Amino acid sequence: MVSEMDPQRLAEACAERMWSTDAASIALGMRIEQVGPGTATLTMTVRDDMVNGHGSCHGGIISSLADSAFAFACNSRGTVTVAAGFEVDFIAPVMLGDRLVAEAHETVLRGRSGIYDVVVRNHEAVVAVFRGRSRSLGRPVLEDS
Amino acid sequence: MVSEMDPQRLAEACAERMWSTDAASIALGMRIEQVGPGTATLTMTVRDDMVNGHGSCHGGIISSLADSAFAFACNSRGTVTVAAGFEVDFIAPVMLGDRLVAEAHETVLRGRSGIYDVVVRNHEAVVAVFRGRSRSLGRPVLEDS
Amino acid sequence: MVSEMDPQRLAEACAERMWSTDAASIALGMRIEQVGPGTATLTMTVRDDMVNGHGSCHGGIISSLADSAFAFACNSRGTVTVAAGFEVDFIAPVMLGDRLVAEAHETVLRGRSGIYDVVVRNHEAVVAVFRGRSRSLGRPVLEDS
Amino acid sequence: MVSEMDPQRLAEACAERMWSTDAASIALGMRIEQVGPGTATLTMTVRDDMVNGHGSCHGGIISSLADSAFAFACNSRGTVTVAAGFEVDFIAPVMLGDRLVAEAHETVLRGRSGIYDVVVRNHEAVVAVFRGRSRSLGRPVLEDS
The pLDDT-based confidence of D125 (bands split at 50, 70, 90) is very high
pLDDT value at position A4?
Answer: 72
CA distance A112 to A109: 8
Q: Which of B92, B107, B110 sits opposite C110 (nearest CB)?
A: B92
Q: How far is CA B80 from CA A96, A121, B143, D110, in A?
A: 19, 25, 11, 21
User: Among B65-69, C117-121, D16-20, where is mean pLDDT lowest?
Assistant: D16-20
pLDDT value at position C99?
Answer: 98
Residue of chain B whose Cα is closest to the Cα of C108: B126
CB of A108 within 8 Å of a chain D CB? The answer is yes
The pLDDT-based confidence of C55 (bands split at 50, 70, 90) is confident
Strand partners, B118: B104, B130
How many inter-chain contacts (B to C, CB under 8 Å) are there? 35
- The structure's pTM equals 0.95
Give, for B100, the enclosing helix (H) or strand (E): strand B99-110
CA atoms within 13 A on the CB side of C114: 26
pLDDT value at position C5?
Answer: 84
Instruction: Pick the more confident residue, C3 or A49.
Output: A49
- What SS3 state is found at B1? coil
Q: Give the start-end residues of each E strand in chain D.
A: 31-36, 39-45, 79-90, 99-110, 113-122, 125-140
The pLDDT-based confidence of A5 (bands split at 50, 70, 90) is confident
Letter string b/e over residues B40-50, b meaning 16 or more CB atoms within 10 A of that residue's CB = bbbbbebbeeb
CA distance B22 to B26: 6
Instruction: With a cut of 80, say whether residue A54 has pLDDT above it.
Output: no
Report DSSP state, residue A67: H
Question: How close C50 gets to chain B, by Cα (Å)?
Answer: 24
Residues of A in contact with D131 (CB under 8 A): 87, 129, 131
- What SS3 state is found at C72? helix
Report DSSP state, residue C54: T
Residues of B in contact with C108 (CB under 8 A): 89, 91, 126, 129
The pLDDT-based confidence of B145 (bands split at 50, 70, 90) is very low
Q: What is the pLDDT of residues D74-106, one digit of tens each?
A: 999 999 999 999 999 999 999 999 999 999 999
pLDDT value at position C144?
Answer: 56
CB of C85 within 8 Å of a chain A CB? The answer is yes
Find out whether A66 and A106 touch, Cβ atoms under 8 Å: no
Q: How far is CA D26 from CA B15, D22, D46, in A?
A: 50, 6, 14
CB of D87 within 8 Å of a chain B CB? The answer is yes
Residue of chain C whose Cα is closest to the Cα of D72: C53
pLDDT value at position D145?
Answer: 44
Q: Which of A84, A87, A113 sits opposite C87 (nearest CB)?
A: A87
Residues of B in contact with D133 (CB under 8 A): 85
C-beta atoms of C133 and A87 within 8 A? no
- Contact partners for chain C, using 3 or more CB pairs closer than 8 A, are A, B, D
Q: Which of A17, A19, A60 sits opposite B60 (nearest CB)?
A: A60
Mean pLDDT of B94-121: 97
Mean pLDDT of B31-50: 98
Residues of B in contact with A68 (CB under 8 A): 52, 58, 60
CA distance D7 to D4: 9
Find out whether A105 and A73 touch, Cβ atoms under 8 Å: yes
Q: Mean pLDDT across chain B, nearest whole number?
A: 94
CA atoms within 13 A on the CB side of B130: 34
- Alpha-helical (H) ranges within C2-145 are 7-19, 23-27, 59-74
Q: How far is CA C65 from the centre of its chain?
A: 6
Q: Which of A50, A59, A67 sits opposite B59 (nearest CB)?
A: A67
Q: Mean pLDDT across chain D, nearest whole number?
A: 94
Picking from A107, A112, A119 by the largest number of D CB atoms within 10 A of its own CB, the best residue to mutate is A107
Instruction: With a cut of 80, say whether residue C4 has pLDDT above it.
Output: no
CA distance A102 to A41: 6
CB of A108 within 8 Å of a chain C CB? The answer is no
pLDDT value at position A53?
Answer: 66
The pLDDT-based confidence of A55 (bands split at 50, 70, 90) is confident
C-beta atoms of A52 and B22 within 8 A? yes
Q: What is the pLDDT of residues D8-52, one digit of tens each?
A: 999 999 999 999 989 999 999 999 999 999 999 999 999 999 998
CA distance A132 to A130: 7
Residue of chain A whose Cα is closest to the Cα of B16: A53
CB of B133 within 8 Å of a chain D CB? The answer is yes
Instruction: With a cut of 70, say whether residue D53 has pLDDT above it.
Output: no
> How deeply is C111 buried, as exposed, middle or buried, from its count of CB atoms within 10 A (0-12, 13-18, 19+)?
exposed
The pLDDT-based confidence of A64 (bands split at 50, 70, 90) is very high
User: Among A43-52, A102-111, C53-62, where is mean pLDDT lowest?
Assistant: C53-62
Give, for B114, the enclosing helix (H) or strand (E): strand B113-122
Q: Strand B125-140 vs strand B79-90: parallel, antiparallel, or unpaired?
A: antiparallel
CA atoms within 13 A on the CB side of D6: 3
Letter string b/e over residues B57-77, b meaning 16 or more CB atoms within 10 A of that residue's CB = bbbbbbbbbbbbbbbbbbbbb
Q: Mean pLDDT across chain A, nearest whole number?
A: 94
CB of C8 within 8 Å of a chain B CB? The answer is no
Instruction: With a cut of 60, say whether residue C2 has pLDDT above it.
Output: no
Domains of chain C in sequence order: 2-140 (3.10.129.10)
Q: Other C-beta atoms within 10 Å of B32: how many? A: 19
Question: How close B32 gets to chain D, by Cα (Å)?
Answer: 31
pLDDT value at position B1?
Answer: 53
Instruction: Write the Ramachandran bin of A80: left for phi over 0, alpha for psi from -120 to 50, otherwise beta.
Output: beta
User: Among A27-36, C117-126, D49-58, D76-85, where is mean pLDDT lowest?
Assistant: D49-58
What type of residue sits at position D109?
A: L
What type of residue sits at position C139?
A: R
Q: Long-range contacts: C46-50, Cβ < 8 Å, 24+?
A: C46/C94, C46/C95, C46/C96, C46/C97, C46/C98, C46/C99, C46/C100, C47/C96, C48/C96, C48/D23, C49/D23, C49/D24, C49/D26, C49/D27, C50/C96, C50/D23, C50/D24, C50/D27
Q: How far is CA B139 from the centre of its chain?
A: 20
